Amino acid sequence: MTLKIHLDTDIGGDMDDLCAIAMLLKWPDLEITGITTTAEEKGRRAGYVDTVLKIANRTEIPFGAGADLADGYFRYDQLGYPPDDQNWPEPISPHPNPIDDALEIIKSSIEQGAVLVGIGPFTNFMLVDQKYPGILKDAKLFLMGGYVYDIPSGFPQFSRQDDWNMQLDIRAAQYMFDHANPTLIPLTLTAQTALCRSDLPKLAHTDKLGELLVRQAELFERTENLAGRYGPTSPKLPIDFINFHHDPLACAIALGWRDGVTIEDVPLKLEVRDTYLYEIPDPVGRPTSLVTQIDVHAFNDYWLNLLSH
């Protein structure tokens, strides 16, 4: 049976969005019904999607630029990007379009029964439900984000304020709790995953998509140096750590990957404190589907094996 998925992404900064898209393009028996971009900058992120799809010879996949930073939805009105000339093998042309084009792609994906996965701020999902009230109520929705339980010791101790997807547009995050039934793949679990330098040789000898992953991973390692920043206080991170698999993990769980995965209904209430959103376990809170456990090593291996074959 062919699975269907719609991806909403903020590709262009942290390279785990590219790792997620590459995984979906390699996933067996999967139809990608659409890709939309969020926290946009006049179609810049959609231009990245366009480039990836061309590299992978998958130009049949619909894509569109969604909510823009200039629209006032987001915590910040400017975001940083790695230099395009180093991160990409060719110049990137922006791919702007009216936001309604992106919302129609999401609507079409829902009507086709696709699983929806948000790996950026959730603004586009809020906007499509506001345009078509109730369309998200029965949608199969998975969101990378959330900070409910603490991160285990030995891993980087991010705070709730570091939960980018939730905190960049807290109004959209609150809307998801009120108008949809999402499964959360929280930062507290994704922060245990790892892309490593030792993974790169396997990726380098696959195809042009693998070469792009290696290119961006090497630049990310040089510029971000997460191993140097987190390694001394995070002994459970691999010594050759490059980046987290935040977004690939969310996509894999949305598609049914379940090795060591536990999903529980946890009653949560939401509070806004100093402009940040807190998801707090509370017996009278709303039952929320939450991934509470994964087999980190199994996922890291799964992602690498899928991408390198």
Contact 9, 50 (CB under 8 A): no
- For the chain, what are the domain ranges? 3-307
Is a pLDDT exceeding 90 seen at residue 238? Answer: yes
Residue 253 has pLDDT above 80, yes or no: yes
Q: In whole angstroms, what is the distance from residue 254 CA to residue 276 CA?
A: 26
Burial class, 253, CB count within 10 angstroms (exposed 0-12 / middle 13-18 / buried 19+): buried
pLDDT (average), residues 166-195: 97
Residue 216's pLDDT is 98
How confident is residue 13, by pLDDT bands cut at 50, 70 and 90?
confident
Amino acid 2: pLDDT: 86
The pLDDT value given to residue 295? 96
Work out the burial of residue 305: count CB atoms within 10 Å of its CB; fewer than 13 is exposed, 13-18 middle, 19 or more buried: exposed
User: Which tens digit of pLDDT belongs to each residue from 89-103?
Assistant: 999 999 999 999 999
Residue 38, CA distances (Å) to 29, 86, 118, 128, 300 in order:
26, 23, 9, 13, 26
pTM of the model: 0.97
Identify residue 305 by its one-letter amino acid code.
N
Which option is the CATH number for 3-307: 3.30.420.40, 3.30.70.260, 3.90.245.10, 3.40.50.300? 3.90.245.10
Residues forming a β-bridge with 288 = 266
Confidence of residue 115 (pLDDT cuts 50, 70, 90): very high
pLDDT digits (tens, 9 = 90+) for 54-106: 999 999 999 999 999 999 999 998 999 999 999 999 999 999 999 999 999 99
Q: Dump the DSSP string for 21-73.
A: HHHHHHSTTEEEEEEEE-SBSTTHHHHHHHHHHHHTT-TTS-EEE--BGGGT-
At residue 207 the predicted structure's pLDDT band, cuts being 50, 70 and 90, is: very high
158 — pLDDT class (breaks 50, 70, 90): very high
In this prediction, residue 309 has a pLDDT band, given cuts at 50, 70 and 90, of: confident
Alpha helices in 148-280 (DSSP H): 164-167, 170-179, 187-190, 200-204, 208-224, 226-230, 246-254
Give mean pLDDT, residues 149-175.
Answer: 96
What pLDDT score was predicted for residue 102? 98
Stretch 242-249: mean pLDDT, rounded? Answer: 98
**Tokens representing 307?**
């991408």
Average pLDDT, the chain: 97
pLDDT score of 1: 72
Question: Which residues, listed in sequence order, are joined to residue 58 by a DSSP beta bridge?
Answer: none
Query: Within 13 Å of residue 113, how many CA atoms lie on the same side as its CB?
Result: 4
How much is the CA Rg of the chain, to the nearest whole Å? 18
Other C-beta atoms within 10 Å of 108: how many? Answer: 14
Task: Return the DSSP state at 112.
Answer: T
Q: For residue 85, what are the contacts with CB-CB under 8 A and spacing of at least 6?
A: 91
